[in-house]
Chains A and B, each alone.
Chain A
């Protein structure tokens, strides 16, 4: 037990230091060097972008942890399951059709995410939830939503403001986006942390949790709602980033264990680190051209997902 605790503390320290190092590296790297004349531009463009990556990455990772707890499935991820795509679709529709309601985008993103999540649940329910059926149904829903997003964009003339919903175009984001993301994320991450000890219970059989006096269905709905809102709000700023919500918690379970009181905070740090690494790599690897962070995540995350799929024996948390 003591050994495990030391390992967890070590993991927090190392990941935290890596994050700080990546932040420093990221501030110093790019098409403009840090010098007197450039400071303002860097403050307006590069800093908010770094902060958005950190907060958004943390948010997506927490969303992944919560979805995995609710679905008892270590492979659940808001991107793969189509929840991010559902959010984007609904955000695009509202921006395209009723531009005056732009300020309500987070709410509509949330509704789109809820619809996607609900579809995944109900369509994959057949005498219980099979780990692989959830993934298959989720991938299908994701594909359909992505196609619908394409349709919507073509019909609306494919302008850039719309495209920013679907792709991770962090280069166009500024302080306003960051403040919006931060406000919502803080609220929902706090809610997620308050649910942490109850998330642990979801790993037990529903019947057993029920006899402890817990209403399992109500708990599932609460945890899902927090997960979907986090995914929706992060997607509306970062675009769809798949595999992040899967990888950060996976690394977390290996290093700090399956208890959510430590897994959620660790996943936040790991998610922030992975997202910032992806974005920084994307904008430096082929400078002055940019590869979006989502593409980098997909290139690295895809193969990892395959490895996890092959190792998953259907047992949650392993």
Chain B
């Protein structure tokens, strides 16, 4: 039964850029229906781990199973029907509309040369636009929206893929604090109301504490600690992973880290 709780099962994973080992004999399970945050200092391999799970990097040893299937053996489109990803940095043509970009999320479900749009496609696009609050902006050009709105567009595109899993690579990096909270609140909602499994990389420890259920703390390509937030994140762990002295305090029953 325990197997069904996990979406990803990673075993003895190692990966190197040239002769520089970035992920070193890494094993972890990621639970279904939870928000899991990968944290760790720069160069700890957290983005690389994400790229390995999204199949962008393939020359690894060890195994990554998604629902019991080796992701190396899955077809590109069938993987894209299971897991969507919002990347840190994105570019758009200057004249593409919100709706057209969100519609790209349907690509894993169709044949591109013919490019017909079915009723299911339309429904998925509508739903994605509504969840992300972009319905009124659907005909606007993406390039003219604010950074926070653009990030919502990319999330909407991922939602249109109708996957069970959503990857987010530092979704708040280029945003001011208001939009950071806005995006993380949206992610939390997606998890709670739609049961989406979220796997993300975050830099801010406090945001990780507040918006995730599980954390994976990495250091030097190895797993340092993993598990539910309350049990894993501690002053000692932060000292060991980031080499920073900090204090954990509680405000309104929420833990915070002060450095």
Residues of A within 8 A of B (CB): 1, 4, 194-195, 197-198, 200-201, 203-205, 207-208, 210-215, 257-259, 315-318
Interface string of B105-129 (1 = CB under 8 A from A): 1011000110100000000000000
Q: Which of B91, B93, B105, B167 contacts A212 (CB 8 A)?
A: B105
Q: What sequence of 0s and 1s flags, for each residue 71-87 of chain B, a beta carbon within 8 Å of any chain A beta carbon?
A: 00001111111011101
Cβ-defined partner of A213 (8 Å) among B76, B89, B94: B76
Which of these, A194, A195, A198, A257, contacts B95 with CB under 8 Å? A257
- One of A1, A205, A213, A259 near B77 (C-beta < 8 A): A213
Given A205-B87, A211-B87, 10 extra CB contacts under 8 A: A195-B113, A203-B96, A207-B87, A208-B90, A210-B56, A211-B83, A211-B85, A212-B108, A258-B93, A259-B100
Q: List 16 A-B contacts (CB under 8 A).
A: A195-B113, A197-B115, A198-B112, A200-B93, A201-B104, A203-B92, A203-B96, A204-B92, A207-B56, A210-B54, A212-B104, A212-B105, A213-B79, A213-B80, A316-B93, A317-B93
Set of chain B residues within 8 Å of A316, measured between Cβ atoms: 91, 93
The 4 A-B residue pairs whose C-beta atoms are closest, nearest first, are A213-B80, A213-B77, A211-B85, A213-B76
| Contact present for A318 and B97 (CB under 8 Å) | no
Q: Which residues of B contact A214 (CB under 8 A)?
A: 76, 107
Hey, which chain B residues are within 8 Å of A258, CB to CB?
A: 93-96
Interchain CB contact under 8 A, A213 and B87:
no
Q: Which of B91, B105, B167 interacts with A205 by CB under 8 Å? A: B91
A201 to B84, CA, bound (A): 16
Determine whether the beta carbon of B90 is less than 8 Å from that of A213. no
Please, which residues of chain B bring their CB within 8 A of the CB of A212?
Answer: 80, 104-105, 107-108, 161
> Which chain B residue shows the least CB distance to A72?
B91
- A208 near B107 (CB under 8 angstroms)? no
For chain B, the count of residues having a C-beta within 8 Å of the partner chain is 36
Does B139 touch A at the CB level, under 8 Å?
yes
The smallest C-beta distance from B79 to any residue of chain A, in angstroms, reads: 6
B residues within 8 A CB of A257?
95
Min CB distance B144 to A, Å, is 13
When A204-B91, A258-B94 are in contact, do A194 and B113 touch as well, CB less than 8 Å? Answer: yes
Assess whether A204 is in contact with B90, with CB atoms less than 8 Å apart. yes
Distance, CA A258 to CA B96, complexed state (A): 8
Partner of B112, one of A197, A205, A208: A197
Of B83, B89, B94, B113, the contact of A317 (CB 8 Å cutoff): B94
Q: Check B91 against A203 for contact (C-beta < 8 Å).
A: yes
CA A153 to CA B112, docked complex, whole Å = 45
User: Which residues of the other chain, B, contact A203 by a CB distance below 8 angstroms?
Assistant: 91-93, 96
Cβ-closest chain B residue relative to A317: B93
Task: For the complex formed, measure the closest distance between the CB of A215 and the CB atoms of chain B, giving whole angstroms.
Answer: 6
Shortest C-beta distance, A9 to chain B (Å), equals 16
Which residues from B are CB-within-8-Å of A259? 95-96, 100
Cα of A4 to Cα of B96 in the assembled complex, Å: 12
Q: Which residues of B contact A317 (CB under 8 A)?
A: 93-95
A214–B97 alpha-carbon span in the complex (Å): 21
Least Cβ–Cβ distance between A71 and chain B, in angstroms? 14
Within 8 A of A (CB), among B236-256: none
How far, in angstroms, from A317 to B141 measured CA to CA in the complex? 14
CB-CB under 8 A from B87, the residues of chain A are 205, 207-208, 211
Closest CB-CB distance, A210 to chain B, in whole Å? 6
Given contacts A205-B90, A213-B81, contact A1 B97 (CB under 8 A): yes
The smallest beta-carbon distance between A256 and chain B, in angstroms, is: 10
A317 to B77, CA, bound (A): 28
Q: Is the CB of B54 within 8 A of A211?
A: yes
Identify which of A4, A208, A210 gathers the most chain B CB atoms within 10 Å of its CB: A208
For residues 128 through 168 of chain B, which have their beta carbon under 8 Å from a beta carbon of chain A? 139, 154, 158, 161, 167
Identify the closest chain A residue to B101 (Cβ).
A204
Closest to B55 in A: A210
- Complex CA distance for A198 and B111, rounded to whole angstroms: 11
Output the least CB separation between A273 and chain B (Å). Answer: 23
- Which A residue's beta carbon lies closest to that of B82? A213
The minimal Cβ–Cβ distance linking A198 to chain B, given in whole angstroms, is: 6
Contacts of B105 in A (CB 8 A): 212
Q: Once bound together, how far apart are the Cα atoms of A211 and B84, in whole Å?
A: 6
Point out the residues of chain A lying under 8 angstroms from B104, CB to CB.
201, 204, 212
Q: How far is the CB of A251 from chain B (nearest CB, A)?
A: 15
B-side contacts of A315, CB under 8 Å: 94
Q: A211: which B residues are within 8 A, CB to CB?
A: 54, 56, 80, 83-85, 87, 158, 167
> B residues within 8 A CB of A208?
85, 87, 90, 154
